[in-house]
Structure 1
Amino acid sequence: MRDDDASWDEDVRLAVYRAFAGRGRAPSAPELADAAGGSLAVAKQALHRLADAHHLVLDEWEHVVLAHPFAARSLGFSVMGSRTLWWGGCAWDSFAVPHLVAAEPEVLIATRCPGCGQPHALVVNRAEPPEGAQVAHFLVPAARMWDDVLHTCAHQRLFCCESCVDAWLAASGEAKGYVVDLVTLWRLARGWYAGRLERGYRRREPADAVAYFAEAGLTGPFWAPAGRV
């Protein structure tokens, strides 16, 4: 039996991500224990280390809330494949699901515009960006996204247009962040989580993240991360 933390961490990480990818939910306590050699205590220790390393997000009850791009509860997006229904963590994450889950090359993403309440449904696949006039607004810059990641994800939303973004900002009192069209959002999501369902996944270093963002068409101070992302 292995007793090194890194081995259990990777087994538990994979159990979490593969449960979300395959069934749209976090693994059960027995499933987590199985991934940690039969010990739920070891699994919980691994979950906390994974949260500290920004691989996932836990709530106060030690439940997995986010394992990007998947969420355990509604954060404004449902993502429906042919076999599985997910909660998307945000606009970015929702667009990433068909790129990450090999068995689901096309999904139907449903959400509402925070500015006017208009419902939106978009078919997103891995072949080409969806058509539409909608835009995504990112409130929190990359360097601060993990300061309060639930707040960050809750404010990466799809709007009807930039006028709806401005209306929401005026009503909420928030400062404007960064607005992208659907093509740029799709490019951002396309390869961001590549390899996350495989053993040995590593988060991007800042320079790698900046290069990836630039390839998607995102440059400038807003997209300069402070650490691994």
Structure 2
Amino acid sequence: MSPTDNKSEFAERVRHTIYTRFAASGDAASVDEVAIALGAEPSVVAAAFDRLATERHVVLDAERRILMAHPFASIPLGFSVMGPDTLWWGGCAWDSFAIPHLVPDAPEVLVATTCPNCGTAHAWTVGREAPPAGTQVAHFLVPTAHIWDDVVHTCSHQSIYCSTACVEEWLAREGLEAGYTMSLETLWRLAAHWYEGRLDTPYTRRDPQTAAAYFRSVGLDGPFWGLA
């Protein structure tokens, strides 16, 4: 049997290749690069990319370029994450705090961003042992039930602000309703184990029930998180 006969198993091989490339280099692999790495036809790899996007393992643009493979991003969305040897774009506050928990060679990273309201620059050393110190807050605009309606928009609005006052000023200026605001400690707990296993294979995404249980385990509740 050819390595591409089982489409599900082949898509998992493609997913694992994409993720390990992102983790090692910070770069998104193209269809052609994955095809070379796996010794497969580009058309077959392209079909696997589409399947992975449908299953929400990756986010593609119209030309099948990878925009995100959470927690990694190929485009700047407000966060840079610097490890010992690698620079990543974090897809959002959640993803940026998750990277040191996922990447074996980066147990500690420097996460940098700016407050969307006032432009103040912020940076934290984020590691695996404890949350970083800081009085800043993270604000997530889009409820979890609608994350995938427009995932780039969602990730672009999971940001860190100087304070709740900056969140309120920004919401008023933009004419938006408040989402969910949390401390850096809660953000760190949310990120710590959310992406466990994504660099392993095979990998299975959480279903809504296990996702809800995870949110509760880190102290998040309410309808914003899909919890009654």
The whole-number CA distance in structure 2 between the counterparts of 1:121 and 1:179 is: 19
Counterpart residue type for residue 195 of structure 1:
G
1:93-135: CA deviation from partner (whole Å, max 9, x where unpaired): 0000000001100000110000110000111001100000010
Counterpart residue type for residue 83 of structure 1:
D
Give 1:36 deviation, angstroms.
Answer: 4.6
Q: 2:224 aligns with which of 213, 216, 222?
A: 222
Q: Is the 8 A contact 1:35 1:43 kept in 2?
A: no
Provide the residue aligned with 2:182 in structure 1.
Answer: 180
The whole-number CA distance in structure 2 between the counterparts of 1:220 and 1:64 is: 32
Any gaps of 5 or more consecutive residues in structure 1? Answer: none
Give 1:30 deviation, angstroms.
Answer: 3.5
State how 1:35-184 maps to structure 2 within 5 Å: 35-184=37-186
Q: Is the 8 A contact 1:11 1:35 kept in 2?
A: no
Give 1:8 deviation, angstroms.
Answer: 1.3
Counterpart residue type for residue 5 of structure 1:
K
TM score, norm. by length of structure 2: 0.96
TM score, norm. by length of structure 1: 0.96
Counterpart residue type for residue 86 of structure 1:
W
Counterpart residue type for residue 177 of structure 2:
A
Provide the residue aligned with 1:196 in structure 2.
Answer: 198
Provide the residue aligned with 1:5 in structure 2.
Answer: 7
State how 1:8-23 maps to structure 2 within 5 Å: 8-23=10-25
Q: Is the 8 A contact 1:36 1:42 kept in 2?
A: no
Number of paired residues? 225
The whole-number CA distance in structure 2 between the counterparts of 1:36 and 1:23 is: 18
Secondary structure of 2:149's counterpart equals: coil
Give 1:173 deviation, angstroms.
Answer: 0.9
The whole-number CA distance in structure 1 between the counterparts of 2:30 and 2:171 is: 39
Secondary structure of 1:6's counterpart equals: helix
Give 1:27 deviation, angstroms.
Answer: 1.5
Give 1:34 deviation, angstroms.
Answer: 2.9
Give 1:35 deviation, angstroms.
Answer: 4.6
Larger displacement relative to structure 2 (171-180 or 26-35): 26-35
Q: Is the 8 A contact 2:81 2:111 kept in 1?
A: yes
Percent of residue pairs bearing the same amino acid type: 54
1:190-223: CA deviation from partner (whole Å, max 9, x where unpaired): 0000000110111111111111001111011110
The whole-number CA distance in structure 1 between the counterparts of 2:165 and 2:173 is: 12
Secondary structure of 2:33's counterpart equals: helix
